[in-house]
Structure 1
Amino acid sequence: MRTREDVLEWLSALLAFGIKPGLSRMEALLTELQIDPDTIPAIHVAGTNGKGSTVAFLREMGVAQGLRIGTFTSPYIIQFEERIMLNGVPISEADLVAAAVAVQEAITNIESTVGTVTEFEALTALAFYHFQQIRPDLVIYEVGLGGLYDSTNVLKHPLAAIITSIGHDHQAILGDTLQEIALQKFGIIKQKTTVIAGKLQEELTVPLMAYCGDRQATLTWSQEVIRDYRLSATGTWATYEGIPETRLGLEGVHQVHNAANAVVCAKQLGWSKTAIRRGLRNATHPGRFEIISRKPRIILDGAHNPEGVAALVERLKEEAKPVIVLCSILRDKDREAMLDQLREVTPEIYETTFDFPRARTLAELKLDGANVMELDQFFDQTDTTNQTLIVTGSLYFISTVRTLLKGQSFTKKGKK
């Protein structure tokens, strides 16, 4: 491999092997690479929604503290390399290729013993390899799926484990009930770990306390540090214990809660109030209530499950203009529940498709009675001059639309 395109082609080929929960392949791969993932201080973040935003707030706090902060997140919105970053700067092509060459060789050496490695396992190993080379002060790892059997769960001694939220998602893999899904997320909690939990359903608080108790883990509820918050024309403002009112870099009531996770973690790490406040202000996260055009007003939000849409709808109720929605909801998501919530803010909802294996096709959508329009056709023909256009339904869809609209100017009937 010599270029980023070679790396992406190699990883893409591994997608054919699907999702295979378990840590044995990952552990063998790291052993072959001579990597101990716990040699660099780490924070482990799991949850149905809010992981990426929590990571964004915490990263900026660490940078403001003067630290070199590595992050491993998914999926990407702008470019693949943003999945592995240092202080918010994506991995370089040279470093990406070097890490991929090392990981590919290691996979070749072990696959006859442990079987075929999945795309996400290879990507996770690539991140561990890169961070071992550059030695950041701290790495924040976002769980890819679940927690207990996720590739990132080879971490045995993180400084803290953060559980952002629990919701109905990936039931075919994680379980049908909230309790079953929660146990998968709780799987990142190790013996005597510091645990920070976000806004969880009441029926999950006792199971989490019991889980932590069995492992002598120290549990803190991040919502307890929230003192006040307000939404205004100038953005989302929040006050936390010991932190004066600050305008958050990310908008919405749900971001007040995500930021609280980061505030608690940063305090426990001993970071200064100045760094915490600066991180709250500076946090950015593409595709999370991201305003990409003001005239007309176009907002991208990667709400990809009912809980995510509920948070989006809560924020949209504050919009001054009428709302129009363009969405693409993946096959394995609860489409009806998501659409019902979106109808609380607008009757004008268009559905479309995009190039992704789990995307519903236009034919499928028509059978379901959807108001269907081709993606290009929508932007060419729909007048959103006096409305707020919300593009949502999937982070992968958001990435596609963001690329489509990047650098475009807009006229009354769409983009030029």
Structure 2
Amino acid sequence: MNGPAVNPVRTRISYQAALDAIAERGRFGIRLGLGRTRALLRGLGDPQLGLRGALVAGTNGKGSVLALASSALRAAGHSVAETPKPHLVSYRERLVVDGRPIDPTTFAGLVAEVLPIADRIAPRLGEPTEFELLTAIIFRWFATERPDVALVEVGLGGRLDATHAWDGGVAVVTNVDLDHMDRLGSTIGAIAREKAAIIERGDRAVTGATGEALAIVRRRARRMAAPLTVVEPAPLIGWDRDGILVELPGLGRTRVGLRGRHQA
């Protein structure tokens, strides 16, 4: 990874106090916009600027893309940071490097570091939300760990999602369907524009979108001079408790260890 290392901070609060502080921000709900996240990141020294990787948006399949990409990259010998969500047991599962969740002490230290910045920007920009704080913490920790690749899942939409404060060089739009219509728009076209907006100038773009949504993703990619790869659905051969069997170009019959027909 390029860029200077970011030194870890010392814990000044307990892990439980850190969790409580993050959860308390949940009362601010979802407030789309990049201003607060960018301000948090500036206060942390813009740790995201040295990170390369993929920002993954879409209606469905974001978690599967992260899991498959992480597995393939790690098998190829790369260090991978990722943001699986939602967590199953521990909140720390949302920040993972090489399959290892962030440890409680480091998490508490990062929360302690970002909270004063949040308090400082609140009078001018409003209180940062839980997801905005978490996004800043994610990039701060990833910069400390210096992975080869970061895989980050968009929270909601794309254009105004906190994660879009980062451009890792690869933008993925898995697919587009009617979701979060109260915030993203009431049509496929409107929602597709929100998600396709994560494609920035010079990115490599990947999508599994179809129809009107694909046309919108193509237009955005052209406008941003971003080479676009369109992924067709893999023909499903079968599935069992060990995963699914699909036909992949250049690979033939391939077993994928994600269970369920929907994974094809």
TM-score computed with the length of structure 2 as normaliser: 0.90
1:215 aligned residue (196, 211, 224): 224
Q: How many pairs are equivalent?
A: 252
**Structure with bigger RCO (C-alpha 8 Å, 6+ apart):** 2
Partner of 1:246: 254
1:138 aligned residue (126, 149, 153): 149
Asked if 1:179 is matched to 2:189, the reply is: yes
Partner of 1:88: 99
The alpha carbon displacement at 1:23 in A equals: 0.6
The alpha carbon displacement at 1:243 in A equals: 2.0
Deviates more, 1:69-78 or 1:130-139: 69-78
The AA in structure 1 aligned to 2:145 is: I
Partner of 1:359: none
1:37 aligned residue (48, 57, 60): 48
The AA in structure 2 aligned to 1:221 is: V
Partner of 1:321: none
Unaligned stretches of 5+ in structure 2? 1-11
Asked if 1:115 is matched to 2:126, the reply is: yes
On the 8 A contact 1:161/1:196 being kept in 2, the answer is: yes
The AA in structure 1 aligned to 2:200 is: K
1:206 aligned residue (196, 215, 223): 215
On the 8 A contact 1:231/1:252 being kept in 2, the answer is: no
Q: CA separation in 2, counterparts of 1:165 and 1:38? A: 27
Asked if 1:61 is matched to 2:68, the reply is: no
On the 8 A contact 2:206/2:229 being kept in 1, the answer is: yes
The alpha carbon displacement at 1:175 in A equals: 0.9
Q: CA separation in 2, counterparts of 1:221 and 1:67? A: 24
On the 8 A contact 1:29/1:125 being kept in 2, the answer is: yes
Q: CA separation in 1, counterparts of 2:87 and 2:239? A: 29
Of structures 1 and 2, the larger Rg is shown by 1
Unaligned stretches of 5+ in structure 1? 257-416
On the 8 A contact 1:236/1:248 being kept in 2, the answer is: yes
Q: Please, what is the CA RMSD of the aligned residues?
A: 1.6
Partner of 1:23: 34
The alpha carbon displacement at 1:215 in A equals: 1.4
Distance 1:235 1:63, change over 3 A: closer
Q: CA separation in 1, counterparts of 2:193 and 2:84? A: 21
Q: CA separation in 2, counterparts of 1:99 and 1:235? A: 37
Asked if 1:106 is matched to 2:125, the reply is: no
Identity %: 31
TM-score computed with the length of structure 1 as normaliser: 0.58
SS at match of 2:93: helix
